[in-house]
Each structure stands twice: as structure tokens, then as C-alpha cells.
Amino acid sequence: MTVVEGKDLEELEVMQQTIAVRMTGGESKIGDQLQEVIRLIRVEKAKKFLAQIYSSGDDAPPSYDDCKTDAKPEREDRIVDADEEV
């Protein structure tokens, strides 16, 4: 479990602001670690945001596989049509 898991959005925002202040305050020795924590905070905030949006029921995002399989036959049809026109 990371330091950001289980935190609500408000706690994540406070963590992010605290880290930003520490980084501008010249604590460059731990800059790489702080950057990693900021990345984790952003990822966790994005997960919570998406969960909140898609928790309303039928608004689930389309799966990647559906998008990929729909596009392939259409492309093949265009290739066949182009061959027939020649």
C-alpha cells in the first residue's frame, strides 16, 4: 500500500500542496522522492475521479477491445473497395 492509497481527494490535495512548498523551499535532496509521491497522488486522484464519474451505473467506459474490433472490419472493407475500383 502506498502513502496515497486510502486518502480522500482533500487529503491528496493537501499532500500535493505540502510537497510543492517543500520543493520550492529548496529541499532538493529529496526532490526525486517528492516527484514520485506527486506522481502517485495524481494517479490516485485520477482513479478517484474516474470512479466517481463511472459509479453512476450505465456510464461505463467502452472497452478497448470493442473499439479495436469495430475499426478493423471497416478498414478491410475500404481496402477491398479500393481493389475493386482498379
Amino acid at site 23: M
pLDDT of residue 17: 87
**CA gap 35, 40 in Å, rounded:** 9
Length in residues, the chain:
86
| Number of domains the chain is built from | 1
Mean pLDDT of all residues in the chain? 72
Name the residue among 11, 5, 4, 31 with its Cα closest to residue 20. Answer: 31
Alpha helices in 1-86 (DSSP H): 9-24, 31-54, 64-85
pTM of the model: 0.43
Q: Please say whether the dihedral angle defined by the alpha carbons of residues 61, 66, 68 and 73, taken in this order, is positive or negative.
A: negative
Residue 52 belongs to a domain: yes
Name the residue range of residue 67's domain. Answer: 9-85
pLDDT band, residue 34 (cuts 50/70/90): confident
Residue 4 belongs to a domain: no
What is the distance of C-alpha 85 from the center of its chain?
Answer: 44
Residue 3 belongs to a domain: no
Residue 19 belongs to a domain: yes
